Amino acid sequence: MKKILFPLSLTVLVGCQNLNQPEQEQQSANIVTASNNDVFEALHADESVAVIHPKEDVEIPLTEQDDIQVIDNIWVRIQSQLEFDIPDNSKVRAHRDWYAKHQRYLDRVAKRSEPFLFHITEELEKHNMPMELVLLPVVESAYDPFAYSHGSASGMWQFLSGTGKQFGLKQDWWYDGRRDVAASTQAAIKFLKYLHKRFDGDWLLALAAYNSGEGRVARAMKANARKGRPTDFWNLKLPKETRDYVPKLLGLAALVKEPEKYGVTLYAINNEPVISHVDIGSQLDLSLAAKLSGLTVDELHALTPGFNRWATPPNGPHQLLLPNSKIEQFKKSLSSLDEKDRLSWQRYKIKSGDSLSVIAKRFNTTVSVIRETNDLNNSVIVAGNYLLIPTATQSLDRYATYEQVRQSKLSKKGTGNKVIHVVKNGDNLWDIGRTYKVSGKDIAKWNGFAPKDMLRLGQKLTIWTANDSAASGSGNTVMRNIQYKVKSGDSLARIASKFKVKIADIEKWNNLNRSKYLQPGQILKLSVNITSI
């Protein structure tokens, strides 16, 4: 247990949002007053509904001592640098008051931030950024570098892939810089600096743009300007998520600034570095790296969440983030390790029908790695020849890599009737979901991908339909989206009977009002079970 030896009680507080996801299916509550607490509680309980946390929290041994005395608390340092003016309005109050009532939740996220908080505080000071931004990962991801959203945002700062690349975050099969705490913090600072300048030094507008996109905020400002209305954050017409996003951060800052006023306390965190980067020079098996440092694989992965696979990338980055108390041991052990022993190797005899891509998949590596290892100029291989292939030193299930936990978290089995839908030209999750009367988000979850991931022609999707669904029936159910041209004398009842669908569904698919007559030549969209007609 930590001994809390400081006079001032502060609290790290938690909320979650998605970065740059303006119109997701389930947004955070649009809280105006505290009277709708039931909705507020449901949407804030544990982590945000829109952000997924695929890994359990790991207790990382940051020091060699079990009983740590915290005398110089980093939250005192942070509090002294808070500078935003915080308005006393209903939205800020609602978020502030909710956080103040959930101490256990706040403590859990405070502890999650412990390895990284000193580093982020130092970087914000170095770049002369507002200290309130140290709370932004709380709002974005609850300080979880493994967090991802169904909108494909990832990491502690919740970067989308494109935005991450724009601000220098490498992303490939081996590594995703959006989850690398140090790299993503640098990218977030660059991004926020850009937005601050883009919106003429207004931090509230910059934060709103970080959440919903600079284009959306700029358009809202122009719309207000045309109408002669104020163009500050509080007067803009923005998505519900963004209208809550900024007040959430401000409510959090209010608590940190005056913790005793709101009855909150802090899990104490020392105002000193507890982790550092170690350059390992070349590729290294992560299980071996953990052993050399005296950590478990899970503990190492919690500090180096950017690595997707069983080893560090062949072409870097070649840095590990380790507890300072473990670095001397690690460096000594690594220096005594022969270069060839950094990875395990297998001599593989090429079989008839093999290709580099097939072999790479079999050994959980990439074609480029096999080519580089074996000095191949192209992908032509000959049966009977041998390849030297780097492999994991342990079975892959021992590594708990990001991709493994993400897939296990995403792939969820549904209930009801199982239907296989083969993706055809023009399909999208929205239309497929309407066909089977399920949500596109559920389809993505059942098949282990995010709702904004691209569908592929011929891709087979597993869909679980309700027993009373129009798509229910045997496993041979085949659904098709068709267009029907209304004929003279047609009615909704006649068309529904003809295609064995419900009138209410036809109305829903086509945004029809039952009180209005159909017109000959009118085109209707129908989702039809072609095995039943």
User: What is the DSSP-derived secondary structure letter of residue 48?
Assistant: -
Distance, CA of 330 to CA of 413 (rounded, Å) = 42
Output the six-digit token pair for 246.
Answer: 């900024």
Residue type, 27: Q
Compute the 3-state secondary structure of the chain and give helix, strand, coil in percent, each to the nearest 5.
Answer: 40, 15, 45
505-528 burial code (b ≥16 CB/10 A, e <16): bbeebeebeeeeebeeeeebebbb
Residue 129 · residue 281 · CB < 8 Å: no
**Residue 80 CA to its chain's centroid (Å):** 31
Output the six-digit token pair for 412.
Answer: 């969820």
How is 445-513 classified by DSSP, letter by letter?
HHTTS-TTSPP-TT-EEEEEE-TTSTT-SSTT--EEEEEEEPPTT--HHHHHHHHT--HHHHHHHHT--
| Preceding omega of 317 cis (within 30 degrees of 0) | yes
Strand partners, 348: 387
Contacts of 217 (CB under 8 A, 6+ apart): 199, 205, 208, 209, 236, 238
The three-state (H, E, C) secondary structure of 401-440, written as one string: CHHHHHHHHHCCCCCCEEEEEECCCCCCHHHHHHHHCCCH
- Is residue 231 classed exposed, middle or buried when 0-12, 13-18 and 19+ CB atoms within 10 A define those classes? middle
Q: Where are the beta strands (DSSP E) in 78-160?
A: 148-149
* H-type alpha helices, 202-296: 203-212, 214-226, 240-257, 286-293
Cα Rg of the chain (Å, integer): 27
User: Which residues are identified as catalytic?
Assistant: 140
Distance, CA of 194 to CA of 201 (rounded, Å) = 10
Residue 254 · residue 10 · CB < 8 Å: no
Cβ neighbour number for residue 161 with a 10 Å cutoff: 15
Cβ neighbour number for residue 130 with a 10 Å cutoff: 19
What stretch of H or E contains 126? helix 103-126
Residues in the chain: 533
Pairing type for strands 69-70 and 3-4 reads: parallel
Distance, CA of 119 to CA of 303 (rounded, Å) = 13
Output the six-digit token pair for 468.
Answer: 């009373």
